[in-house]
Amino acid sequence: QAVENVGYSAELIEDEQKRREKQQIQAQHEIRQRKWQAIVALVLGFGLMIWMLAGGQTEVTPENRINWMIVGLATLAVMAFTGGHFYQRAVKNLIKKTATMDTLVALGTGSAWLYSMVVVLVPDFFPQNSRHLYFESSSMIIGLINVGKMLEAKARQRSSQALERLLDLTPKTARIADESGEREIPLSNVQPNMILRLLTGDRVSVDGIVIQGSCWIDESMLTGEPVPVCKNTGDKVSAGTLVTDGTLLFRAEQIGNNTTLANIIKLVRQAQSSKPKLGQLADKIAAVFVPVVVVIALVAALIWYAVTGQISYSFVVLTTVLIIACPCALGLATPMSIIAGVGRAAELGVLVRDADALQKAADADTIVFDKTGTLTKGEPKVTALYTFNGFSKQQAIQLTASLEQGANHPLAKAVLDMAKNVTLLEATDFNTLKGLGVSGVIGRNNVLVGNRTLMERNQVETQQAIQHFHLESERGATVVFLAVDQQLAAILAIRDPLRDDSADALQRLHKQGYQLIMLTGDQEKTAQAIAKEAGIERVIAGVLPEGKAKVIAQLQQEGHNVIMVGDGINDAPALAQANASIAMSSGSDIAVETAELTLMRHSIHGIADTLSLSKGTLRNMKQNLFFAFIYNSLGIPIA
């Protein structure tokens, strides 16, 4: 009831699927409705304007009065169809004794039509030089504002779609394991302390603790890191994460709205709904502007009536003030700047998803970067290879890749990518050693590939590689050892390398005066290594999605205007919380949908270009608003 009292409709829908379907239908309906309303109004408005500019008769004469009367009635029908919602809300505002931009639009367009229609019906009532018609103005104003309403509806739909994609990460069923065996049950039937089974390719249904088995789980939606994590007994698993290899049993703990994924969804929804819109500022201005304009119009009309004694001239003055106060120029000043800015952004490889984004980005003083996939390439690569005991690099690559071709180990892909042009050998007696690496026989040689612990357990001497091991570890790399017949052959450093132009682009942003911060879910050591290489002084590491949003909120409380740059599901709450947000096009769909700006080229230089463009757009916007305000301010006393 409270929602309906302020001019909106509301209903309670308990079924989640029905809610999503109804919301999607309503969003599509509103977009189509605003689109057709804009088209119909603009066709009539531009048609009349072009006809007048082409030399059409604009004065009312006995011969053309019927024609103009038909035009007036047609305009009224178009105004009712395309702008009825403005007039309905204006009436509700009047009843509540308040005013918004809807009130100003209804007042201006209604006055223009009424004045024009009176001129058509009784032209002799007005002085000869005041018999002007404004049918096209009423139609065009409504059409242009409907274009803005359509774009706003599309932006809301994109925000909703971002949340829907997050919801779709949760599977609809879970595989329960109890005394009667294993079977699938609806997710809604899962209760705390139930024992659930995970297999390769499954998405985790609820948060829980591993009680048996082990597997590799892709937690990039939480941490942003591309390398899957090995989960063993006692480790925590989170809803929405993906099993890449292995099987395990886990005990359900947090279910439904209490899971980590549900918390991410809640954070995104809260941040998006709390963002201030330009329309709110316009409504605040209108709440003061409308009463002032009405008072000025009435006072002016009374003064001219007292001076001239002509009711007709007083009506002309009254109507002219109301028409000149209609926010035509003020309403177009911002959209025209944004349209030009959006077009230029597209040329620079930047997709603008929110019309307000360029303006908000121009006010930023702090840029927060996610690490993985934003500053780095987002996939592990072999960045260094050291050989020992007479083995060549070619031999090391061939032996390591030959053994890893049978592995589902998360680092195997990086090794195989390095060996694309190498002939691989057949490996026999292949074994995956949980948490250590892999082993096998190639030719007549026993080969081990894994971590330092695997080497120590098999009495492989690693002292000669210790210096390289520590050096690469400090750089944030995962170091993989290769041993052949209990003899160290090589070590490989695998890490997610910095993008080629990240350091130069960050230096450019630093020179422009921005505070640069790295915010990542990765461990401190790896984050510091990447930050040092990139030239970023401040690092906040080991932060989960809800923590990222809190960091952004804390920076905002300190008085900073923050831009968040990210690419993963785990960045969505922070992207939504920031004053402006930028996503990499190579990132997750959810990050791209949540962000207001998307970089279509894989270059951090695009951010520097975007910020320069946003400042230019804001400067042009202020110039337009200044001249529009001067136009309205000077126009009222002149009228």
d(CA 293, CA 601): 49
Instruction: Choose which CATH entry (3.30.465.10, 3.40.50.1000, 3.30.870.10, 3.40.50.300) describes domain 353-377+499-612.
Output: 3.40.50.1000
Cα 243 to chain center, whole Å? Answer: 27
428 compared with 313, residue with greater pLDDT: 428
3-state secondary structure 589-626: HHHHHHCCEEECCCCCHHHHHHHHHHHHHHHHHHHHHH
440: phi then psi, degrees, rounded to nearest 5: 180, 180
216 compared with 329, residue with greater pLDDT: 216
- Per-position DSSP letters for 429-475, written without gaps between them: EEEEETTTEEEEEETTEEEEEE-HHHHHHTT---GGGHHHHHHHHHT
d(CA 489, CA 76): 86
Decide: 516 and 564 in contact? Cβ < 8 Å.
no
Query: Whole-structure pTM over 0.85, yes or no?
Result: no
d(CA 600, CA 610): 12
Task: Read off the pLDDT band of 589 (50, 70, 90).
Answer: low
Query: Does the pLDDT value for residue 478 go beyond 70?
Result: yes
Domain extents in the chain: 14-166+272-326, 173-258, 353-377+499-612, 381-495
pLDDT attached to residue 210: 93
d(CA 489, CA 392): 9
Helix (H) or strand (E) holding 323: helix 311-324
Task: Read off the pLDDT band of 86 (50, 70, 90).
Answer: confident
Decide: 281 and 231 in contact? Cβ < 8 Å.
no
Burial 418-437 (b: 16+ CB within 10 A, else e): bbeeeebeebeebebbeebb
Q: Which of 68-77, 170-179, 227-236, 347-356 is the least confident region? A: 347-356
Question: What is the number of H-type helices and E-type strands within the chain?
Answer: 21, 20
Mean pLDDT computed over 227-253: 87
Closest CA to 578 of 606, 557, 549: 549
Bridge partners (DSSP) listed for residue 480:
492
Active-site choice (370, 567, 571, 609): 370
370 is catalytic: yes
Q: Which CATH architecture has domain 173-258?
A: Distorted Sandwich (2.70)
576 compared with 409, residue with greater pLDDT: 576
Task: Read off the pLDDT band of 76 (50, 70, 90).
Answer: very high
389: phi then psi, degrees, rounded to nearest 5: 55, 40
pLDDT attached to residue 276: 43
CATH number of the structural domain 381-495:
3.40.1110.10
Max mean pLDDT range (80-89, 91-100, 153-162, 320-329): 80-89
d(CA 455, CA 463): 11
pLDDT digits (tens, 9 = 90+) for 92-131: 888 888 877 778 788 888 888 988 888 888 888 877 777 7
pLDDT digits (tens, 9 = 90+) for 331-346: 555 666 666 777 677 6
Decide: 484 and 583 in contact? Cβ < 8 Å.
no
d(CA 154, CA 383): 44
Cα 143 to chain center, whole Å? Answer: 28
Closest CA to 577 of 163, 259, 269, 278: 269
Instruction: Return mean pLDDT, the chain.
Output: 81
d(CA 188, CA 170): 11
Distances 637 to 115, 126, 310, 317, 326 between C-alpha atoms, Å? 19, 21, 19, 10, 14
Same fold, 173-258 and 353-377+499-612: no
Decide: 639 and 130 in contact? Cβ < 8 Å.
no
pLDDT attached to residue 368: 93
